[in-house]
Amino acid sequence: DADVTQTPRNRITKTGKRIMLECSQTKGHDRMYWYRQDPGLGLRLIYYSFDVKDINKGEISDGYSVSRQAQAKFSLSLESAIPNQTALYFCATSSGVSGDSPLHFGNGTRLTVT
Amino acid sequence: RKEVEQDPGPFNVPEGATVAFNCTYSNSASQSFFWYRQDCRKEPKLLMSVYSSGNEDGRFTAQLNRASQYISLLIRDSKLSDSATYLCVVNIRGGATNKLIFGTGTLLAVQP
Residue-level pLDDT, tens digit, chain B, 112 residues: 788 999 999 999 999 999 999 999 998 877 889 999 999 989 999 999 998 888 999 999 999 999 999 999 999 999 999 999 999 999 887 655 667 889 999 999 999 9
**10 Å Cβ neighbour count for B63?**
19
Give residue A39's pLDDT: 86
Instruction: Taking the CA atoms of A38, A42, A45 and A51 in sequence, report the sign of the dihedral they define.
Output: positive
Task: Say whether residue A58 is in contact with chain B using an 8 A CB cutoff.
Answer: no
* Least-confidence region, from A68-72, A84-88, B31-35: B31-35
**Residue A9 pLDDT more than 70?**
yes
B residues 15-44 closer than 8 Å to A (CB): 31-32, 34, 41-44
CB pairs under 8 A between A and B: 45
CB–CB of B49/A102 below 8 Å? yes
Residue B39: name the closest of A88, A32, A46 by CA: A88
Arithmetic mean of pLDDT, A52-73: 94
Strands B84-94 and B70-75: unpaired
Of B43, B93, B104, the CB nearest to A90: B43
Give residue A41's pLDDT: 85
Give residue B44's pLDDT: 96
Give residue B29's pLDDT: 79
Arithmetic mean of pLDDT, A38-47: 90
What distances in angstroms separate CA B63 from CA A83, A97, A106, B48, B89, one per listed residue? 40, 24, 28, 11, 13
